[in-house]
Amino acid sequence: MLRLIIFLLLGLSVCVYPQTAQEIQKTAQEQKRTGRVFLNFQDADISLVAKFMSELTGKNIILDPAVRGTITVSSAKLVSVQTAWKIFLLALSLQGYATEWWRKKIT
């Protein structure tokens, strides 16, 4: 029984996120349903992580074409969608990127 638990824990800890837009959308929708997210992006393209976060949160994210590179975003345990968003914003700021909020309705 202990071996089974260790195997399952190791399997979950090596979870690799998909790299296509369709796979990202599917994964984000599955995790959004549960309200709990396990982040494990290792040297992932920033635009793919942004796509995942957009799908997860329902927020529109517009990336400047100058935003390029990779990012590592990980959580040691399941976190809420709100916490995942905060982790994402922190990871962007550590890369030297800033975010701007628009609260006005665009007509």
Identify the structural domains of the chain with CATH numbers, from first to last. 13-94 (3.55.50)
pLDDT tier for residue 24 given thresholds of 50, 70 and 90: confident
Lowest mean pLDDT among 64-68, 76-80, 93-97, 102-106: 102-106
- Could you tell me where the DSSP H helices lie in the chain? 2-13, 21-34, 46-57, 81-94
For the whole model, what pTM was predicted? 0.72
Q: What is the pLDDT of residues 34-88, one digit of tens each?
A: 889 888 888 989 999 999 999 899 888 888 888 889 999 988 899 999 999 999 9
Closest CA to 100 of 67, 70, 56: 67
Buried b (16+ CB within 10 A) or exposed e, 31-53: beeeeebbbbbeebebebbbbbb
